[in-house]
Amino acid sequence: MAEQNWVIQMKKADFQMLGEQFHIDPVVARVLVNRDLDASQFDLFLHPELERMHDPFLMEDMNRAVRIICHDVEEGHKIRIVSDYDVDGVMSNYILYKGFRRIGGDVDYVIPHRVKEGYGISEDIITKAHEDGVHTIVTCDNGIAANAALSKAKELGMTVLLTDHHQVPFIMEQDRKRYILPPADAILNPKKESCTYPFDDLCGAGVAYKLIEAIYTKREIPQEELAEFLEFVAVATICDVVTLQDENRIFAVQGLKRMRHSANMGMRALISANGLADQVLDAYHVGFKLGPCINASGRLESAIASLELFLEDDIDVALSKAQDIFNINEERKGLTFHGVDQAQEMMEQQEERKVYVIYLPDCHESLAGIIAGKLREQYNHPMLVLVDSEEEGVLKGSGRSIEGYHMYEALQECNDLLLKYGGHAMAAGFSLQKENLDAFASRLNENCELEGKAFASKVKIDVELPLYYISEDLIGQLDALAPFGKGNEKPLFAQRELNVLSAKILGKDRSVVKVMLESKDGATLEGIYFNAQEFTDNIVEWFGQEEFDKLLHGWLNNVVLNVAYYPVVNEFNGNRSIQLQIKRYAMAAVREVL
């Protein structure tokens, strides 16, 4: 398992002044500064209202894109949407399909099969569209790297509207990047070097939303009608792990609000199938319950099933479809657990490496990325997992990276060994001939410049916050910063040298430990940790069985810990109390962690 390195963030600012200016606790001001926000960004972050969205026509090619779609509708031209098969792709497809239909478009959709067709638009999809009399191809959440396929579309005389959010491919020429754009009549992608849109980290569904927003503006459709798409952009924004700041924060906050009373039958059915009908939905429910179900249909069967769920108007049919998707996800979980176990066994047989390349011949190819992600979380090394593809002698792989290792650029340095590759700094997909596997793994490790401490899991502490300072008002202000995710990580606080006065093991499966903590100044608060067995093992190892037994009896003991935590208000039997959710802990003697 990865070594941990606790680090207190020391970014400088006048937190007292910021607190007074924005009517927030100075601790909250420090949290926002730690998220790389300056004073000019505070107000938007604290008040993420819809009217503060950016003008969609600021995105390069937007006016041209609107003209293309409106012209197609007026002329009765057939439009086909081609999306990715993940959550972002499905949501993008849904938004464009419903939006184009709203203005009278003759539109249908295609989602490539992950295994049979692979990622993104292909020449086969273009050929089929031409045979079907499609006039205009609209990509969403893909296309920016599809030079060959879109060239074919243009050769066949088709109109191409590309909407995407992935990095634009480039080649290095004399230490400079030369970006390569595919042929298209309009390209909506805020990551284009020439695009001056104020925020460049939208997900694919965010770009799709901006297109429909612009079309509705041009066609004078009430902007209130855009509200039906907010929950879909929110799900994609959270699941695609884009930065939860600026417009993405608006999408996430407003979309989650709307999901609580969703008018979409499919969304309501999926929420119900996951047992969340009575819950106040948050980013956790979206990212770890709903999103994986949507993804699972695209991994093990076809993502069309998820899209059609959200297009369903009959609640009974929607409930049946949602249950099917939920069941597929349960199957996916079992296969993933098995794959992770296999990978760990293989890693134990290898010598330690900087970059791990794991070949799992019996693994379903759609699970490679999930398994790589779980291994990365556990070991904090770049992880690439490969499986057999349907093509003889060809392996397909997916990688997940760590801070300081740009995976897409690492693959670029191996491009002579690869058949195909794409992605970004933290994740990538690729394929190669099986015979090149060993050379590929060797070169990745030879090129990797990371050393020792780079592989320690960094635990970023926002503030070393004493127990006495915590109040319900502060907790309320912290909770208002949600939803949490990339670029807006959940705040983490710490205090050193807390005496552990007592411990109780709780729960039906005895998996929870509740402790009473006391600081040097005599302040006490209850803490809770959700891995009682690990806590037990560590305390016995660090302090001895006798000291642990004293804890369980509430007797005077010598157990002293540094604790990293998030404070919450616990309500039980009508009583409210402040409680610490313990995220990390260490022996107080280990001074260097703080």
Per-residue pLDDT tens listing for the chain (594 residues): 567 889 999 899 999 999 999 999 999 999 999 999 999 999 999 999 999 999 999 999 999 999 999 999 999 999 999 999 999 999 999 999 999 999 999 999 999 988 788 778 999 999 999 999 999 999 999 999 999 999 999 999 999 999 999 989 888 888 899 999 999 999 999 999 999 999 999 999 999 999 999 999 999 999 999 999 999 999 999 999 899 999 999 999 999 999 989 999 999 999 999 999 999 999 999 999 999 999 999 888 899 999 999 999 999 999 999 999 999 999 999 999 999 999 999 999 888 999 999 999 989 888 999 999 999 999 999 999 999 988 899 999 999 999 999 999 999 999 999 998 987 788 899 999 999 999 999 999 999 999 988 898 888 999 999 999 999 999 999 999 999 999 999 999 999 999 999 999 998 899 999 999 999 999 999 999 999 999 999 999 999 999 999 999 999 999 999 999 999 999 888 889 999 999 999 998 644 434
Indicate whether this model's pTM tops 0.85: yes
* CB within 8 Å of 306: residues ≥ 6 apart: 90, 293, 294, 297, 298, 325
pLDDT of residue 2: 63
Backbone angles phi, psi at 546, to 5 degrees: -65, -40
DSSP track, 137-176 = EEEES--TT-HHHHHHHHHTT-EEEEE--SPPPEEEETTE
Tokens encoding 191: 């990551």
Residue where the block lists tokens 């998030």: 566
Q: What is the pLDDT of residue 518?
A: 98
Domains in the chain and their CATH numbers?
4-13+459-593 (2.40.50.140), 52-170+180-227 (3.90.1640.30), 355-449 (3.10.310.30)
pLDDT at 115: 76
pLDDT, tens digit, 9 for 90 and up, residues 426-484: 889 999 999 999 999 999 999 999 998 889 888 899 999 999 999 999 999 999 999 99
Task: Select from 201, 200, 198, 262 the least CA-distant residue to 229.
Answer: 262
pLDDT at position 500 is 98
Q: Which distant-in-sequence residues (6+ apart) come within 8 Å of 450 by Cβ?
A: 354, 404, 405
Count of beta carbons in the 10 Å neighbourhood of residue 393:
10
Structure tokens at 57: 């026509």
Tokens of 150: 């879109």
Q: What is the pLDDT of residue 591?
A: 40
Contacts within 8 Å (CB) and 24+ apart, 575-580? 576/472, 577/526, 578/470, 578/471, 578/472, 578/475, 578/525, 578/526, 579/525, 579/526, 579/527, 579/528, 580/517, 580/525, 580/526, 580/527, 580/528
Q: Are 125 and 149 in contact (CB under 8 A)?
A: yes
3-state secondary structure (DSSP) of residue 453: helix
Tokens of 443: 């070169």
Round to the nearest angstrom and report the end-to-end CA distance of the chain: 20
Residue given tokens 């009575």 in the structure block: 278
- What is the three-class DSSP state of 565? strand
- Whole-number pLDDT of residue 117: 82
| Predicted local confidence at residue 594, as pLDDT | 45
